Structure 1
Amino acid sequence: MKNIISTICIIAFFSSCNDNAKKEQQTDATMESFSEFAENYYQENLKLNPISATQAGDSRYNDLFPNYLDSLQIEKTKSFYKNTKKVLANYSDADLSESEIMSKNILEWECDINLETLSFKNFRYFPIDQMWTVNLGMGQFASGASAQPFKTVEDYNNWLERVDSYLIWLNTSEENMKQGMKEGYILPKSLITKIVPQLKEMTQPNIEDHLFYSPIKNFPEGFSEEDKNQLTEAYTSMIKDKLIPTYQKLSDFMAGDYMTAGRTSSGIASIPNGDDYYKHQIKLYTTTNMTADEIHQLGLSEVARILSEMEKVKTEVGYKDDLKSFFNYVRGKKELMPYSQPEQIISNFNDIHETMKPQLEKLFDKKPKTPFEVRQTEAFRENSASAEYNPGSVDGTRPGIFYTPIPDATKYNVYSDESLFLHEAIPGHHYQISLTQENNDLPKFRKTLWYSGYGEGWALYSESLGKELGLYTDPYQYFGMLGAEMHRAIRLVVDTGIHSKGWTREEAIQYSLDNEAESEAGIISEIERYMANPGQALSYKIGQLKIRELRTKASLALGDKFDIREFHNQVLETGCVPLALLEAKINRWIDKK
């Protein structure tokens, strides 16, 4: 699962730093309650981060798109976090409930980690990549099938206004990348070659086939002919006169001067302050203080362990050759590519859900109310996308969506579909995110937080529950689970290899090919993903191992008193938190029991 906006795009600040300064000077007697403070924090966050508000299902700011790259906005953000830390210091733990103490600790973490992020230039000079950045999310919004609503005439007009501001961001992105070139901040050439086609897709000259024209082809019932005609004219003009020229200019720049200057190195260490930035990224995504060397060695150990488990499956299915050739055998096994149409693949995921439904109550006594759907990834980003989960709205009216890319259904290999569904859908991201959003005991700001170490750690932990949920009866599906875990273990090796040990893109690709059954095309896409966002790929295995460690600790400590459903409640009820805070919570629960 990933957010459609980069770290800088989800940071928050109150509109008046003077107000915070006044709060610092308030006495304990006059200072607002902590719950009021948390609510105000959340509301100001929505105002000033309207994309996040739209994702959460709050429509009040659907016409806004602040320029997150603007220097004034960045400086205000820095002031916000510094002032928030000072205000937080006025709240004594002795006066707070256990949940409020957790909220206070989370806010302190938010302030510190975002101030660290703002101390680097990376978010300014790398505003666009092939997988993670806001332009791709805006494409999803434009399709009319994502979080941006297109139900009323006002909704349609809101999007026109938002696009106008978004185009300012695109122009600023180009200017920033030009400055980045001067200062040594430039993407690897192999990534730039993937971005250019994505930008060119938005220069589609046939207006009626353009992605941003999609809402016009899907007017809701009840629109008058006058409204339809006015909106059709406005959207046609927006695409023809504004959007296409802006994308064409950006595409020409990236295919020209930027491509020529693109670096041949793969790791972030080759840019200014790259080593320090990677340390920050490890902390940001794992929410730990682990070093790159520690993670690299852990990865090598996990790869060796999982390889031994894979050998057992290879023996079980009667394959006689070595494990590396077995990877190729699984990659190309025709029986594991049984489909010809994307709809059949979507149906298979729904069948997996039906199989596990009777077993879910044995592991979970709380289930989300938010609806859930499986969809094919949109064509404009499908070739560079991984499977992912997009959360439903906080109020549950918009479903959680598991997107899976299917560029060619005839070549789609199903061997890892059960583990993929457990991770991206149920009980992975859909349970974790929806239960958080539905938990009325949490302050609102915690309902939309995302910490990759926890969130991706939970999703990978969920993959290990397959046998308990009636899955993995087919040895190839169990091998798929091992393959998915291996994939995350390999990430520990190759991400640190690329960014701290000087590995090339090609060395990382070859290491992956030697140790997992993913297709070469899939592996190349993954390695380039790690190049674009250093450290993110580390979060899955680090988080999974911590949750598994805590489950084992609780089971041994509690013996007959251990209830797996209660343990899962303890993990999930907090919402996303840094792993150290989760561990402290589980330890307190064990002590109380």
Structure 2
Amino acid sequence: MPSAPARQSTAIDAVATSYYETLLRLLPDYATQLGLPGHETEYRDYSPAGLEALAEAARETLLLLEDLTPADDVDTVTLDAMRERLGLDVEIHEAGLDYADLNNIACPAQSIRAIFDLMPTATAEDWSHIAGRLANVPDAIDGYISSLRAGRERGRVAARRQVSIVMEQAGKYVEDGGFFDSLGSTTSTDDGVLPESLTQQLRAGADAARTAYRSLATFLGEELLPAAPEQDAVGREHYALTSRLFLGSGVDLEETYRWGVEELDRVIAEQEAVADEIRPGATIEEAMALLDADPARQLHGTEALQAWMQELSDTAIDAMAGVHFDIPDVMRRVECRIAPTSEGGIYYTGPSDDFSRPGRMWWSVPEGEDSFTTWKETTTVYHEGVPGHHLQIATAVFQRALLNPWRRNGIWVSGQGEGWALYAERLMQELGFLSDPGDRLGMLDAQRMRAARVVFDIGVHLELEIPERWGTGTWTAEKGYVFLQQNLAISEGQLDFEYTRYLGWPGQAPAYKIGQRLWEQIRDEVRTSEGEAFDLRAFHTRALNLGSVGLDTLRRALVPAT
């Protein structure tokens, strides 16, 4: 995929670029995520002042956009996306939701630690940056604590379940042999032994970081936990905001819930048909047991897991490039790694802005888990790599000549991004890459999980009626756990992690399946509009070149107005 011809920068591009530069100034750790130099030791201001500064930057940018007219189609999308994203950021801030940002997967308690995963470690200078950022962990944690206090004063506190799990996570970070202990004990690197002065700085920084996380755990236990509500459900008003945040679309929640119930039933029926292929008359559970017992589908140890992920990812890229997708050479590598944590989950981090750091697929293996089955995870590699997240995210980074920096790197909408990745899983079946019944059952298992999350997430948080197939009365967290046990074929450790995640991150998990639904609707609308001229590869190229935008913006950009 050649980079698009350079287009003339416009007034709207200038506003977007200025806002992006403001984000890098206010969010210096975000610069590390992008591989941009100059902010290696810094953290954002997690205090109420920092939250207000972000909201004010959004307000000011929206005012600058008010009188601007798009110069071309790219401008039209930029203006649409900025008004939707920044306007919603302001709404969320004014509702006080950002003061209660606490859950088991995606809040400052994890991100303050996780930024170290993306920092280079090859040279003494790299480790000097790590030592500097370690020393700044206490200020970051103090700011975060002050925002949580402010949230408590406004009546915005995460549920007790989330507070308790983050206390537990903080404890693991600071235990002997834990994450910070490992960083602080480093004495050598690829280019030799580190100077004694630097190893002392690393030890001191690690000690400071451990002390900070201990103070966070103490605050959570002594101050926040007593104020935390027992109820996990966040209610309609809160949920409507976060659903829009993750989708970039204001969907009808009741209609979407009913669709989720129907989609779950449909996927289960498809699973039953594939189970019969694996062994005539087998139930889904029996077919899965047969696959689990197949030595050819087993991996033992994280080294074997990492090697398998890498080989499958490389094979997929070789098969996709130039045939089904346009993939430039600089994007033809995904680095597969075992994450340095044991919290559960598989995730992707994008390449640096110059591609010197490749896109990476991470697997956070829960403690005690050492055996893995390939039939379940083949579709996961496609989801995180190609044609999933890597193709999507790296394409936006690559389109420097077409998109301004905010469009390339400054926006991420889960429904569009995760929806694309789930769409990509189904696409791999359509393209013939999941012809093996076991791998296909694995894809359907993932689809079933995502459909079940729509039902669970909307049902529990809005306290809707339980479908007859799954129980009686209205949803509660406890009834939801039993429902997930019936529909998520994962280990107990993974199930506990996912269950807590859905309860603490309302609206995010359903965005995968809802996003897939909207992607498929948009594709079909374009296919109908273009008739025989429709070309799937060209559609994908047009869509991916837009970068990550809200799903309503995506539809307006791709579907001709009627």
TM above 0.5, yes or no, is yes
What SS class does the counterpart of residue 118 from structure 2 fall into?
coil
Residues 1:232 and 2:209 aligned together: no
Post-superposition shift, 1:419? 0.9
Query: How many Å apart are 1:579 and its aligned residue?
Result: 1.2
Q: Which residue matches 2:520?
A: 548
- Residue of structure 2 in register with 1:198 after alignment: 169
CA contact (8 A) 1:150 1:156 kept: yes
Report the Cα offset of residue 222 of structure 1: 6.4
Counterpart-to-counterpart distance in 2, 1:282 and 1:354: 35
Q: Distance in 2 between matches of 1:278 and 1:570?
A: 32
> Aligned runs of 1:153-302 on 2, under 5 Å?
154-178=125-149, 180-181=151-152, 184-205=155-176, 210-213=181-184, 216-221=186-191, 228-240=195-207, 242-256=208-222, 258-259=224-225, 262-269=228-235, 275-302=236-263
Match of 1:431 in 2: 391
CA contact (8 A) 1:359 1:470 kept: no
Partner of 1:522: 494
Counterpart amino acid of residue 496 in structure 1: I
Q: What per-residue deviation string (whole Å, max 9, x for no partner) do you get for residues 503-544 of structure 1?
A: 322211211222343334322221211111110112111221
- Residues in 2 aligned to 1:344 and 1:360: alpha-carbon distance in whole angstroms: 26
State the AA in 1 paired with 2:141: L
> 1:70 pairs with 43, 48, 63, which one?
48
Contact 1:337 1:411 in 2 (8 A): no
Change (3 A) 1:486 1:368: farther
Cα offset, 1:207, TM superposition = 9.3
The residue aligned with 1:35 is 13
Superposition deviation, residue 255 in structure 1: 4.3
Q: Distance in 2 between matches of 1:233 and 1:56?
A: 29
Q: How does 1:309-348 map to 2 (within 5 A)?
A: 309-318=270-279, 320=281, 322-323=283-284, 325-326=285-286, 329=289, 333=293, 335=295, 338-348=298-308
Instruction: Quote the Cα distance in structure 1 between the aligned partners of 2:233 and 2:515.
Output: 23
2:349: which partner in 1? 390
Whole-Å separation in 2 of the counterparts to 1:570 and 1:222:
47
- The residue matched to 1:531 in structure 2 has which SS? helix
Residue identity opposite 1:80 in structure 2: A
Shift of 1:461: 0.6
Question: Within 5 Å, which residues of 2 pair with 1:97-136?
Answer: 97-126=72-101, 128-136=102-110
Q: Which amino acid aligns with 1:482?
A: L
Moved more, 416-425 or 168-177: 168-177
Q: In 1, Cα distance between the equivalents of 2:532 and 2:179?
A: 64
CA–CA distance in structure 2, aligned partners of residues 208 and 519 of structure 1: 24
When structure 1 is superposed on structure 2, of 46-55 and 465-474 the one drifting more is 465-474
- By how many angstroms is 1:79 displaced? 2.8
CA separation of 1:101 and 1:507: change in aligned 2, threshold 3 A = same
What letter matches 1:582 in structure 2? L
Paired with 1:276 and 1:399, the residues of 2 have a C-alpha distance of: 40
Tell me by how many angstroms 1:85 deviates.
1.6
Letter of the structure 2 residue corresponding to residue 113 of structure 1: L
Q: Distance in 1 between matches of 2:164 and 2:287?
A: 29
Which residue is equivalent to 2:421? 459
Check conservation: 1:331, 1:518, Cα contact below 8 A. Answer: no
CA contact (8 A) 1:368 1:431 kept: no
| Match in the other structure for 2:380 | 420
Deviation at 1:100, TM superposition (A): 1.4
Shift of 1:175: 4.2
> How far apart are residue 339 of structure 1 and its match?
2.1
* Paired position in structure 2 for 1:562: 534
Matching of residue 369 in structure 1 with residue 343 in structure 2: no
How big is each residue's C-alpha offset from its partner over 1:161-180, in whole Å with a ceiling of 9 and x where there is no partner? Answer: 43344312312333444555
Distance 1:101 1:193 in 2: 45
How far apart are 1:81 and its partner, in Å?
Answer: 2.2
Alpha-carbon distance change, 358 to 158 in structure 1, aligned in 2, over 3 angstroms: closer
What secondary structure sits across from 2:322 in the alignment? helix
Q: 1:141 Cα shift?
A: 3.2
Specify the SS of the correspondent of 2:418: helix
Alignment partners' CA distance in 2, 1:374 and 1:485? 23
CA distance in 1, matches of 2:122, 2:315: 35
CA drift of 1:583 comes to 1.4
Relative to structure 1, the CA distance from residue 38 to residue 372 in structure 2 (aligned partners, 3 Å threshold; closer, same or farther) is same
8 Å contact from structure 2 (residues 349, 360) kept in 1: yes
Whole-angstrom distance in 2 between the partners of 1:45 and 1:171: 21
Measure the CA separation in 2 of the matches of 1:62 and 1:564: 42
Distance (Å, rounded) in 1 between the aligned partners of 2:105 and 2:179: 26
Partner residue of 1:497? 459
Q: Which amino acid aligns with 2:238?
A: Y
Partners of 1:140 and 1:358 lie apart in 2 by: 33
Name the TM-score, length of structure 1 as normaliser. 0.84
In percent, how many aligned pairs have the same letter?
23
Partner of 1:586: 558
* 2:34 corresponds to 1:56: yes
Counterparts of 2:522 and 2:108 in 1: how far apart (Å)?
35
Do the aligned partners of 2:347 and 2:361 also contact (CA within 8 Å) in 1? yes
Quickly say closer, same or farther: Cα 1:37–1:179, change in 2 above 3 A. Answer: closer
Contact 1:337/1:410 (8 A) holds in 2 = no
Distance in structure 2 (CA, Å) of the matches to 1:557 and 1:120: 40
* Alignment partners' CA distance in 2, 1:209 and 1:573: 39
Aligned residues: 539
- Match of 1:363, SS? coil
Letter matched to residue 406 of structure 1: V
Q: Distance in 1 between matches of 2:91 and 2:179?
A: 44
Question: Unaligned 5+ residue runs, structure 1?
Answer: 1-30, 270-274
1:88 aligns with 2:65: yes
- Deviations 1:337-389, CA, capped at 9 Å, x for gaps: 622221212222233235433354331133461331111121xx32x231100
Inter-CA distance 183–105: structure 2 relative to 1 (3 Å threshold):
closer
Cα distance in 1 between the residues matched to 2:177 and 2:278: 52
Partner of 2:448: 486
Residues 424 and 459 in structure 1, CA contact (< 8 A), matched pair in contact too: yes
Q: 1:377 to 1:471 in 2, by over 3 A?
A: same
Q: How big is the shift at 1:554?
A: 3.0
- Which residue of 2 is the match for residue 400 of structure 1? 359
Instruction: Report the Cα offset of residue 283 of structure 1.
Output: 0.8
2:489 maps to a residue whose letter is A
Query: Structure 2: how far apart are the matches of 1:289 and 1:282?
Result: 7
User: Is the contact made by 2:396 and 2:546 (CA closer than 8 Å) also made in structure 1?
Assistant: yes
